Amino acid sequence: MRYLILVFVFFSMSISAQEKQKKIALEGYVSFMNTNSFDSIKNSWMIDNQFYNRINFFYYPTSDFTFTAQLRNRLIYGNSMLLIPNYQNVIGFDYGIADLSFNAIAEKNLIVNFYFDRLNFKYSKDKWEIQFGRQRVNWGKTFVWNPNDIFNSYSYFDFDYEEKPGSDALRIQYYTGPASSVELAAKVDNDKNATAAVKWLINKWNYDIQLIAAELNQKDYYAGLGWAGNIWKLGFKGEAAYFKPILKVDSNVVISATASLDYSFNNSFYLMAQVLYTKIPSNSPIQNFESYYSAQLSAKYLSFAPWNLFAQASYPITPLLTSSLAGMYYPQINGFFVSPTFTFSLAQNVDASIVWQYFKGEFPNMFTGMSQKQQVNMGFLRLKWNF
């Protein structure tokens, strides 16, 4: 694996001088992010730092074929390696059937990780599109919670991973019209569990509507519905899903539904709101905010609370300064999450961001029956250069 990574890196560097060749494209970015986390400002802080380099390589041998390889390189050092058990294994873990993640260095408080999160071939001809390999199969319609994103769910809180994870999958699309298609997709994960699904996309009443049927990880039968359109000048999107366990010994049927409204004003002020209802099964791995924040999410387990409310507002204060404020409310636990963000354009292709994430809530203790308070603060400073 390490030799494959080295060959790819050196090959990418060598072809960057060949921009005159239209068959090759290379892009990416470099960033540094400092993270400070604590429950209370007067208590101990956990401080981490991350250098992140991304390389996106595209090769077009013909007009019909595309080869994509995208490499995520991270150097992480700080307190998490010392305080979180098996942290290096979490960073180096690959959820796909192909292990394309490698820790080149894994010391007490330093990790260097290389990870291919895209590595695929795509064939496009007339009404057909076939893609094989590690890719993102994005069936979600809404912004925060995605019951239809059954192949590669992601966490809203992981804002630094803009590309989002991929799956080792085969995807076949046939376009039946300008805004309609039939899509088949299948993947296998690191436990060799298979997921297979079919999606039918149509455009009706000026809405994009999708119907999904699937078998997930050989554990659940799945039926999904998604839509995207407008109510007057408001964007209106939503998703719904039904999960039924295949094994009769598991009676944890799950139903999730979400809907969102958004609106952009003439002065670029943007508002968005989303609501989620999800039935929490007894075997859910998401029990509190910490597990929700750090766990590998799935379309079946989207939250620790049945009702979830989200709102966000963003506004470009100046051409070089953009601000946003996002928040969540969880009625059942009297909890909330709030996150202000400021992004500064320092130069062409160079940005600086300040992000704060704060959560507070009360969770029932299964042993005492009393409520247990939880509070989390996380502050981020990020510098990013795109090339």
CB 148 within 8 A of CB 139: yes
> What are 222-250's pLDDT values in tens digits?
999 999 999 999 999 999 999 999 988 88
Q: Compute the half-sphere exposure of residue 332: CA atoms within 13 Å on the CB side of its CA.
A: 13
Give mean pLDDT, residues 3-28.
60
Higher pLDDT, 5 or 97: 97
Amino acid 4: pLDDT: 47
pLDDT exceeds 80 at position 104: yes
Amino acid 328: pLDDT: 97
What value, to the nearest 5°, has the Cα angle with vertex 303 and ends 301 and 304? 110
Amino acid 42: pLDDT: 87
pLDDT exceeds 70 at position 51: yes
> What are 196-228's pLDDT values in tens digits?
999 999 999 999 999 999 999 999 999 999 999
Three-state secondary-structure class, residue 79: coil
> What are 133-174's pLDDT values in tens digits?
999 999 999 999 999 999 999 999 999 999 999 999 999 999
Amino acid 10: pLDDT: 45
Poorest-confidence range of 180-184, 202-206, 362-366?
362-366
Share of the chain above pLDDT 90, in %: 78
Higher pLDDT, 70 or 81: 70
- Pairing type for strands 371-386 and 207-216 reads unpaired
> What are 289-331's pLDDT values in tens digits?
877 887 778 999 999 899 999 999 999 999 999 999 999 999 9
CB 143 within 8 A of CB 154: no
Amino acid 369: pLDDT: 60
Amino acid 130: pLDDT: 98
Amino acid 11: pLDDT: 47
The C-alpha atoms of residue 88 and residue 350 are separated, in whole angstroms, by 30
Amino acid 41: pLDDT: 87
CB 295 within 8 A of CB 267: no
Written as one string, the DSSP assignment of 328-356 is: EEEGGGTEEEEEEEEEEEEETTEEEEEEE
pLDDT exceeds 60 at position 6: no
Higher pLDDT, 15 or 336: 336
Confidence of residue 1 (pLDDT cuts 50, 70, 90): low
Amino acid 45: pLDDT: 92
Amino acid 366: pLDDT: 56
pLDDT exceeds 80 at position 2: no
Amino acid 179: pLDDT: 92
Q: Cα-Cα-Cα-Cα dihedral of 154, 157, 327, 254, to 10°?
A: 40
Higher pLDDT, 68 or 296: 68
Amino acid 288: pLDDT: 76
> What are 261-298's pLDDT values in tens digits?
999 999 999 999 999 999 988 778 877 787 788 777 89
Confidence of residue 367 (pLDDT cuts 50, 70, 90): low
What is the gyration radius of the CA atoms in the chain, in angstroms? 22
Amino acid 3: pLDDT: 44
Amino acid 14: pLDDT: 47
Listed residue (28, 14, 15, 17) closest to 385, CA to CA: 28
Amino acid 250: pLDDT: 82
The C-alpha atoms of residue 355 and residue 379 are separated, in whole angstroms, by 6
Chain-wide mean pLDDT for the chain? Answer: 91
The C-alpha atoms of residue 349 and residue 173 are separated, in whole angstroms, by 35
Residues in the chain: 387
> What are 116-144's pLDDT values in tens digits?
999 999 999 999 999 999 999 999 999 99
The C-alpha atoms of residue 189 and residue 198 are separated, in whole angstroms, by 18
